[in-house]
Structure 1
Amino acid sequence: MGRLEIKSYEKIKEFLSEEHVGRIASIDENGYPQIIPMNFAFVNDSIYMHSYTRGEKLDNILRNPKTGFEVDRELEFLPSYFSHPTDASQADTLYISVVIKGKAVIVEDDDEKTLALNGLMKKYQPEGNYIPIKNNDLVLDEVAVIKIVPESIKGKYKIGQHLRTDSRLVLAKKILKRNSPTSRQTLKVMGFEETPDGLKMVDEPVW
């Protein structure tokens, strides 16, 4: 992957802590992959999700624990005219993605289920205003908790690091001018800041 590979495990953990939707892939009884979007928390180097106590994905995991898990964020679509006035093939996208392969299990231990559910609450309701779940709460019997133990974690990101410094600035200016709903957040991720003198790279993100 070269310059597009995320080499920092801390950056991968940071990304997983920020994203709200991941996709779990399991193998159904006919050998086809089943992909489902899920809320998740990355706790103690494992992916945790909660689910109904019955369902196809649980059956799939019990039959074959090998699973995939993917999280991505489209930062910015780059229209073709950024690079060429008429050539549609020049369209591109800035993005971040993480792909995990590992073994999934249905968590039975109440202490671990409590850890997972509180991890989910902390992530999705960081403002608090709830009583943390305890390991003897009835809710533990009403939900299933899926855990994926990663065997490999690979991340990719494309935020302009593949371009020369001058070309990156030109791209940043075009993103700012297009003024999409995500443009300013994208520029921040790219390491740019708006100043009275125009766009300036204040950080050189190396992941």
Structure 2
Amino acid sequence: MFRDMRRKDQVLSREECLAVLDRGTSGVLAVHGDDGYPYAVPLSYAYEDGKLWFHCARTGHKLDAILRDPKVTFCVVDRDQVVPLEYTTYFRSVILFGKARVLEDPAEVRAALEKLALRYAPEDSEAHREAILERELPAVVVVEVAVEHLSGKEAIELVRSRHALEL
């Protein structure tokens, strides 16, 4: 169902893909937008055990698109070093494909928001985090993406330098 990567020598392992998702602080969500146009939007996320979560407003292009067609892709760029004299970039990125669903169960919504809060404000006090969650709960929608396919790729130069270090 999902295509194999053409450049197999540049494929990241599953563990490396998960490390990229863990290191990343933002990614780009792509959905089937209005009038057949793709719609891609950067957002913050949390990822754990094959699921990705993000929040959004109760109305808008992104939510409308997800409700119309739950198939989405999400990309995180881990490295993007421009190398002008080589006319290239040393890149590393991960893309995932999955199906999005709007969480309805208040316990699921709260759990996902707590994951997001802990990811982006791990030093915050529990009391302050709870106060923020209570304030924001009525205003947000939380979306969960069940990941169906995950792949990553890096520049051949990064592959070579990693292999050189292993020798």
How far apart, in 1, do the equivalents of 2:82 and 2:33 lie? 34
Give the equivalent residue in structure 1 for 2:4.
Answer: none
Greater helix share, 1 or 2?
2
The alignment status of 1:61 with 2:58, answered yes or no, reads no
Give the equivalent residue in structure 2 for 1:20.
Answer: 25
- Give, in angstroms, the shift of residue 140 of structure 1: 2.4
How far apart, in 1, do the equivalents of 2:32 and 2:158 lie? 36
Give the equivalent residue in structure 2 for 1:76.
Answer: 81
- Give, in angstroms, the shift of residue 68 of structure 1: 1.1
What one-letter code is carried by the residue in structure 2 that aligns with 1:94?
Y
The alignment status of 1:30 with 2:26, answered yes or no, reads no
Residues 90-114 of structure 1, C-alpha deviations (whole Å, 9 max, x = no match):
3121111111111111111112111
Give the equivalent residue in structure 2 for 1:6.
Answer: 12
The alignment status of 1:146 with 2:143, answered yes or no, reads yes
Secondary structure of the equivalent of 1:114? helix
CA 138–18 in structure 1, closer or farther in 2 if over 3 Å, else same? same
What one-letter code is carried by the residue in structure 2 that aligns with 1:107?
L
Q: 1:1-207 alignment to 2 at 5 Å?
A: 1-7=7-13, 9-80=14-85, 90-131=86-127, 132-133=129-130, 137=134, 139-158=136-155, 160-163=157-160, 168=161, 203-204=165-166
How far apart, in 2, do the equivalents of 1:126 and 1:159 lie? 35
Instruction: Indicate the structure (1 or 2) with the bigger Cα radius of gyration.
Output: 1
How far apart, in 2, do the equivalents of 1:77 and 1:59 lie? 36
What one-letter code is carried by the residue in structure 2 that aligns with 1:31?
G
Higher relative contact order (CA 8 A, sep 6+): 2
- Give, in angstroms, the shift of residue 12 of structure 1: 1.6
What one-letter code is carried by the residue in structure 2 that aligns with 1:118?
E
Which is worse superposed, 53-62 or 154-163?
Answer: 154-163
The runs of 5 or more residues in structure 1 that have no matched partner are: 81-89, 169-189, 192-200
The runs of 5 or more residues in structure 2 that have no matched partner are: 1-6
Secondary structure of the equivalent of 2:114? helix
How far apart, in 1, do the equivalents of 2:37 and 2:10 lie? 30
Greater strand share, 1 or 2?
2
CA 204–116 in structure 1, closer or farther in 2 if over 3 Å, else same? farther
TM-score when normalising by structure 2: 0.83
Q: Which runs of 4+ in 1 moved over 4 A?
A: none
Residues 23-79 of structure 1, C-alpha deviations (whole Å, 9 max, x = no match):
111112311110100011102321100111111111111111111111113342222
CA 141–153 in structure 1, closer or farther in 2 if over 3 Å, else same? same
Secondary structure of the equivalent of 2:35? coil
How far apart, in 1, do the equivalents of 2:15 and 2:98 lie? 19
